[in-house]
Chain A
């Protein structure tokens, strides 16, 4: 059974770059699609983007200029970078497996809270 775990700094300063990693266990990242979703405290879900194991990506148009999702198949991980962060980027960040054929996200990691503050 595939399990995902997010990791990275819990505090980032405004204007700096947020960097998170999602580690996948119980299965290989190869052959599949993966995604990042975030949730500001007390608010709804926002899709950030997805990546195929070969490196093909799609991004939320509203974040596209600041987002990069990359794959590290040798470590069975994929990563998220979000540049020029502001307090509006404070959120719980989730990684999940993405089924491209049927358009769903499952399973999800437990999420990691990133606070943007000076």
Chain B
């Protein structure tokens, strides 16, 4: 099972919006609703920010939103803030196991 494909890095100015893509196949992203996203700051453990494609855990700002179209899931961060600078990973269920994305580094300009 290959890792899901994410852009290596994306950047944006404070207050702007950016979107991170997560490309899989019909055997993972395209086949299930169990796509989640994790935020990881340097030296810290990952933190869940989106589950089941579009749902946010309590405490996660509504600036973070998720979507999916076919085999591609996306994470959108609106109103970029300095605290959003981190690595982001998508994750998908794939028939009794899970596969993570390659990870995307978000940087503020």
Contacts and interface: CB of A to CB of B under 8 A. Distances in A.
Measured as residues with beta carbon below 8 angstroms from the partner, the interface class of chain B is 20 to 34
A94 interface: yes
B100 interface: yes
Interface stretch (B13-21, B46-54, B68-76): B46-54
A45 B52 contact: no
A42 B102 CA distance: 11
A25 interface: no
A45 B48 contact: no
Contact of A62 (B1, B46, B96): B1
Contact of B89 (A44, A60, A99, A109): A44
Given A102-B52, A104-B36, A94 B45 contact: yes
Interface residues of A, number: 22
Interface of A: 37, 44-47, 49, 58-62, 94, 99, 102-106, 108-111
Nearest to A63: B97
Contacts of B36: 103-105
